[in-house]
A = this chain, B = another copy of it.
Amino acid sequence: MTTATDFAATRAFFDLPEGVTYLDGNSLGPLPRAVPERLAQAARHDWGGKLIGGWNDAGWMEMPDRLGDRIAPLIGAPAGSVTLGDTLSVKVYQALAAALALNPDRRVILSCAGNFPSDLYIAQGLARTLERGHDLRTPPPEEVEAHLSEEVAVLMLTEVDYRTGRRHDMARLSARAHELGIVTVWDLAHSAGALPVDMAGCGAAFAVGCTYKYLNSGPGGPAFIHVRPDLAQRIDPALAGWLGHEAPFAFDPDYRPAPAVMRMRVGTPPVLQMVALETALEVWDMARIEDVRARSVALSQRFIDAVEASCPALTLASPRAPEDRGSQVSFRHPEGYAIMQALIAGGVVGDFRAPDILRFGITPLYLDEADIDRAAESLAHIVNRGLWDAPEFRARKPVT
């Protein structure tokens, strides 16, 4: 594989604990080495030193759009079409409310049963709040295309399934949806930073995503939202906050939306989280998303091959074809929970999703062949010898 990305350098960008093989970056990315000092500096120098002046003099006010412009190329979106803030759930609400308003005569929100539950909850909460009889449909992922029709107002999907890693065909579903007059909302939580995304090419109306997975912004990092530029000016935001006002510091009593995607800003930007994100995004100065994807496919295949060869009790839950997968590999086992606890205890960190899924994030920015081999060996060791069958691994926290 020829590559312009020096993966030894990207690995050195992160501070991974000694003895840990971390395959859970699809849930929370690891710490970029420079973050602690940058956070301390931002607090000491900018907040402590500039006080209220930081909003202008430290560039805090522009952070949401400046960092949006750094994320835009990773998702194939033009500059000025992405902004940041809030959590992904809030950004889903904003996008879905705006999408429904663009299709006021239709009453069906089409998603799928594989969507992240919070996206479905947000749709349920919005539908209840609107009281207009919107119907949320969640067919199995592979049946979504058959449910597209002129009844559907909005197609709202997460490109990559958080459990299986199954990937929707975003270009195809978007094209078909647009032919039927459906407004599209894509959640890129498991895509941004993991694989190339082509928002401009697929012509979808909205994209949202989080930054604490493959973009490594840390716990509670801000979410992003992209709006197709020709649509942005037509949106009257549901969450009409002062940072989305045309002139926040005019303190006008009436809301006037800011230009373009800036109207999707809501409240005061979370500056400390954005400092961590800004630091984390510097890895993209030395990494190309296409290289990351190619290496993720290679490492994933290596992992699947090794596990299938050594560990017959596990069943691949992810699609076998690389193009149908995101950047994670999942296996099923009825005792998946206990197996994962045993694996973590031995220093290989993945995670578990009910009822029986073991998830492994394959993140080439900081994982290499040796990590993959160690993970596969450890898994085979635990499963084949039944080492998971111990009280300390079987005891589960109640999820109520």
Contact = CB atoms under 8 A, between A and B. Distances in A.
Nearest to A61: B219
A129 B354 contact: no
Interface stretch (A15-23, A145-153, A295-303, A376-384): A15-23
A294 interface: no
A170 interface: no
Query: Could you say which interface size class chain A belongs to?
Result: 35 or more
A398 to B, nearest CB: 9
B47 A31 contact: yes
A117 B252 contact: yes
Given A86-B90, A218-B271, A240 B122 contact: yes
A343 B249 CA distance: 20
Nearest to A125: B240
Contacts of A24: 51-52
Contact of A89 (B129, B242, B351): B242
Contact of A220 (B90, B138, B273): B273
A30 B48 contact: yes
B88 A86 contact: no
Interface stretch (A2-10, A32-40, A69-77, A385-393): A32-40
A254 interface: yes
Interface of A: 15, 17, 20, 22, 24, 27-28, 30-31, 35-37, 39-41, 43-44, 47-49, 51-56, 60, 85-90, 93, 97, 101, 113, 116-118, 120-122, 124-126, 128-131, 138, 210, 212, 218-223, 236-243, 245-247, 249-255, 266-274, 276, 344, 349, 351, 353-354, 397, 399-400
Given A124-B240, A129-B130, A272-B273, 7 more contacts: A31-B44, A31-B47, A87-B268, A90-B241, A117-B251, A117-B252, A220-B268
